[in-house]
Amino acid sequence: MRHLIAGNWKMNGLAAEAAALAEAVAQGCPVEADLLVFPPATVLTLVARILAGTPVAVGGQDCHTDGSGAHTGDVSASMLRDAGATWVILGHSERRAEHHETDDIVRQKVNAAVACGLNTIVCVGETAEHRREGRQAEIVGWQIAGSLPKDFTGVLAYEPVWAIGTGRTPTEAEVEEMHGFIRGELRRELGVNGEKVCILYGGSVKPSNAAALMALPDVGGALVGGASLVAADFLSIARAAAALSNGSAGG
């Protein structure tokens, strides 16, 4: 199995920094891992041009439910395509929290993105409070049921909110337990397609913990925030993924 490594640059990167980061990623990317970067919308075209012809694909960090219209400040799926994106992240916890995105809105966005031919990464994950209360599986189960269309064939990212940008990660046992639970929910919700969905782990992934996290069952790669802004760190995580792909029987 080839692992997927996605770098979410979030609201970081003016043109010069974004170009330098994209060039460094393109130069250092190992062939045995699938790499994606998600720059801010303002530099999407620039980054897509730099990465054209390389194995690194480019995506947007969000899109609107509508194709066009009176939605000041928003970006549609077709605009992302037009700018060179082939992927989009939807339902990131920062969008859910800061822009009040519900599961229902996320599902509509997935449909809009797929209709434009974009590949999707849908994010789910519990808050610290939910985990303290032991409700992480319940919350993630609800998010999966509500956010994914029944014909979903994209990628799912499990990102516990309390692990994002904090340097804290769940234990390997906790990640394994949650990814196993997610696989079961995907099978239940999506039938045979649920078997094929790649499940990424996200939240304080760094070079020192990436290999161990990605080696766990049902972890198909990583969604990386802060460490994706440092080319050497992102590429180190990519090499860890490539080493796992090389080592796995059957490729």
Q: Assess 224 for contact with ligand 13P (CB under 6 A).
A: yes
Q: Assess 159 for contact with ligand 13P (CB under 6 A).
A: yes
Q: Select the residue interacting with ligand 13P from 202, 210, 237, 245 (CB under 6 A).
A: 202
Q: Assess 161 for contact with ligand 13P (CB under 6 A).
A: no
Q: Select the residue interacting with ligand 13P from 225, 231, 235, 241 (CB under 6 A).
A: 225
157 or 197: CB nearest ligand 13P? 157
Site for ligand 13P in 83-102 (CB under 6 A): 92
Task: Tell the smallest beta-carbon distance from residue 81 to ligand 13P (Å).
Answer: 21
Task: Tell the smallest beta-carbon distance from residue 163 to ligand 13P (Å).
Answer: 6
**Count of residues that interact with ligand 13P, criterion CB under 6 A:** 14
8 or 78: CB nearest ligand 13P? 8
Q: Determine contact, residues 122/106, Cβ cutoff 8 Å.
A: yes
Q: Assess 165 for contact with ligand 13P (CB under 6 A).
A: yes
Q: Assess 39 for contact with ligand 13P (CB under 6 A).
A: no
Question: Catalytic site residues?
Answer: 92, 159
Task: Tell the smallest beta-carbon distance from residue 155 to ligand 13P (Å).
Answer: 12
Q: How far apart are CA 46 and CA 242, in angstroms?
A: 27
Length of the chain in terms of residues written: 251
Q: How far apart are CA 173 and CA 36, in angstroms?
A: 27
Q: How far apart are CA 160 and CA 163, in angstroms?
A: 5
Strands 155-158 and 34-38: unpaired
Task: Tell the smallest beta-carbon distance from residue 16 to ligand 13P (Å).
Answer: 22
Binding site for ligand 13P (CB under 6 A): 8, 92, 159, 164-165, 202-205, 223-227
